[in-house]
């Protein structure tokens, strides 16, 4: 069941979203070659708890971290570890928090030091596809309009759109209805209404869209890199408002 949010509830989510936006900026400024993803995870935990929030990933379904740290061919759900980041890798940092009962969820993919042109392009296409999706997040439209815009933008450029993971509604719970696939048919799916809040999150591969993995692992089938970009977005009287940017 979809839970539409009142303007007052969206105001609360705007606050959680603002803290998460700042947390991700804080992490992006600090990530560098040689750093372990465990250290980055500690920084995220400290930041979130210092701002009177709770990390929403920690313990969720047994997840061991505050962030998901997914390197190169890892699509999402990478566990923070003692593994050191290497120059040239790309890292997706996915993070969620709860402030006064309201969730925010967002992800960024960053290059570790200098990286290849093709990885930089992958990061940029993934990010831009999110904005192509948001352009379709408007009253009277259908969920499939968002999905289709993301898919079309990426596939027309030769990238693979992950099918095994999707975006979601968000509110008091991290994962609410509806599911928000990054592929689909325009004009189909639930009607987009004021008060709908979605985590829109393209997961885009340099090569095939296919993924492999069981349990937490989600890797590209061809071991080529994958990028992730996510924000929590509310549909208000002023249109789509990105709460985590």
Q: In the complex with Mg ion, which residue's Cβ is closer, 84 or 131? A: 131
Question: Interface residues for Mg ion in 167-226 (CB under 5 A)?
Answer: 199
Residues 82-101, interacting with Mg ion (CB under 5 A): 94
CB of 95 to Mg ion, least distance (A): 7
Among 105, 132, 145, 241, binds Mg ion (CB under 5 A): 105
Between 107 and 234, name the residue whose CB sits nearer to Mg ion: 107
Span between the terminal Cα atoms of the chain, in Å: 27
| DSSP state, residue 161 | E
Identify the residue whose tokens are 């890292």.
91
Decide if residue 233 touches Mg ion (CB under 5 A): no
Backbone angles phi, psi at 9, to 5 degrees: -70, -40
Number of residues that bind Mg ion (CB under 5 A): 5
How many other C-beta atoms lie within 10 A of the C-beta of residue 221? 15
Residue number with CB closer to Mg ion (18 or 88): 18
Residue in this structure with the two tokens 């349990």, named with its chain if needed:
215
Q: Identify which of residues 26 and 87 has a Cβ nearer to Mg ion in the complex.
A: 26
Minimum CB separation from Mg ion for residue 165, in Å?
A: 9
Using the rule CB under 5 A, give the single segment among 41-49, 104-112, 141-149, 157-165 that binds Mg ion: 104-112
Please, what is the minimum distance in Å from the beta carbon of residue 22 to Mg ion? 16
Is the CB of 105 or the CB of 176 nearer to Mg ion?
A: 105
Interface residues with Mg ion (CB under 5 A)?
94, 105, 107, 199, 230
């Amino acid at each position: 069941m979809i839970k539409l949010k009142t303007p007052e509830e969206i105001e609360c989510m705007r606050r959680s979203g603002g803290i998460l936006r700042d947390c991700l900026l804080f992490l992006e400024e600090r990530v560098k070659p040689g750093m372990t993803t465990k250290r980055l995870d500690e920084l995220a935990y400290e930041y979130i708890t210092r701002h009177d929030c709770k990390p929403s990933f920690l313990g969720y379904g047994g997840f061991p971290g505050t962030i998901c740290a997914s390197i190169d061919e890892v699509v999402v759900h990478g566990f923070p570890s003692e593994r050191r980041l290497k120059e040239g890798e790309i890292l997706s940092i996915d993070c969620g928090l709860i402030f006064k009962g309201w969730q925010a969820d967002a992800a960024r993919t960053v290059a570790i030091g200098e990286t290849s042109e093709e990885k930089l392009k992958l990061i940029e296409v993934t990010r831009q596809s999110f904005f192509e999706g948001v352009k379709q997040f408007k009253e009277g439209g259908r969920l499939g309009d968002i999905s289709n815009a993301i898919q079309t933008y990426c596939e027309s450029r030769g990238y693979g759109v992950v099918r095994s993971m999707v975006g979601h509604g968000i509110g008091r719970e991290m994962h609410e209805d509806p599911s928000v696939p990054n592929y689909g048919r325009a004009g189909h799916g639930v009607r987009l209404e004021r008060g709908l809040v979605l985590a829109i999150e393209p997961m885009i591969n340099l090569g095939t869209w296919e993924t492999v993995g069981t349990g937490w692992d989600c890797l590209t089938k061809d071991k080529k890199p994958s990028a992730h970009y996510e924000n929590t977005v509310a549909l208000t009287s002023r249109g789509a408002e990105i709460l985590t940017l």
